[in-house]
Amino acid sequence: MPFVESGGARIHWDSEGEGTPVLLIMGHLYSARMWYPLLPALTKGHRAIWFDNRGTGDSDTTPGVTVEQFAADALAVLQAAGETSAHVYGVSMGGGIAGEFAMAYPERTRSVTLGCTMFKTEKTEIKGAQKLIYNLPRWLVKAIFKRTKPEGYGSAAPREAAQHDIAVLAQDRFTMAGVRAQAYAIANYATTNARAVEKLTMPVLILHGDEDKLVPVEKGREAHALLPHSNYVEFKGAGHNYLVADNEGSTRAFLDFIDGVDAQGAR
């Protein structure tokens, strides 16, 4: 089980497959295990590199973490894997980390894919019910996961696929201290549109479900409008987790994109 030291924490990572490297960054609360819908197709022609964000899976939990530190963790994993650059793909919070990675380390980024995320230009505050949830005991949060409704995946999501994902989520590993730290990292993070336009000059793909209740689809459309050179794919009837709601469509969109970037680079 490979680990790398980064910013005072042991970060668990792994890889599979051969070919162009793809660095995968998962979203808030979930470990890298939740990339399972994409990995079978991705690893047929690419080297997938994934890692558990701090507070999830087998990585350490640390207080006071930032999105910038998450991006530095991703760089440490890439270097530990022996790669100098990769296609970078993040979803939800991982999309924000992927965007920060690409802006901070453009020379390491062959392309960046921003899934079900947004450019966050203002810091926010955690309060009310949201703050209460982050202070619940882990066993209770796990129980809540088990009661997740398949309908939340979107009207087009196959029910069996949604139910399977709910079951996998219920078994995923995290610490409440870790997810609280992640939540505050998100709340305290902000970038600027001007920085995104200046730094994200590499190929960009933006993916979003049109029934996303956590990050409204308008945020994906706004990101595409901000970066006119970006590719944009919207999944009809998909909620926040389009990897499950439209597994075939989202997998094809991503692979077509990075294969196109690789072909362009070869020419």
Total domains in the fold of the chain: 1
Q: Is residue 102 part of a domain?
A: yes
pLDDT attached to residue 128: 76
pTM for the structure as a whole: 0.96
pLDDT(14) > 90: yes
- CA nearest to 66, candidates 187, 185, 191, 192: 185
91 class by beta-carbon count within 10 Å (0-12 exposed, 13-18 middle, 19+ buried) = buried
DSSP 2: -
Mean pLDDT (whole number) for 146-175: 91
pLDDT attached to residue 100: 98
Structural domain containing residue 45: 3-262
Q: Is residue 267 part of a domain?
A: no
Mean pLDDT (whole number) for 195-204: 97
**In CATH, what number is assigned to the domain containing residue 189?**
3.40.50.1820
* Count of other CB atoms within 10 angstroms of residue 198: 11
Q: pLDDT of 67-92, one tens digit each?
A: 999 999 999 999 999 999 999 999 99
Q: Is residue 229 part of a domain?
A: yes
Phi, psi of 141 (to 5 degrees): -65, -40
Q: pLDDT of 108-145, one tens digit each?
A: 999 999 999 999 999 999 887 777 777 778 777 777 76
pLDDT(56) > 90: yes
Is 71 in contact with 9 (CB distance < 8 Å)? no
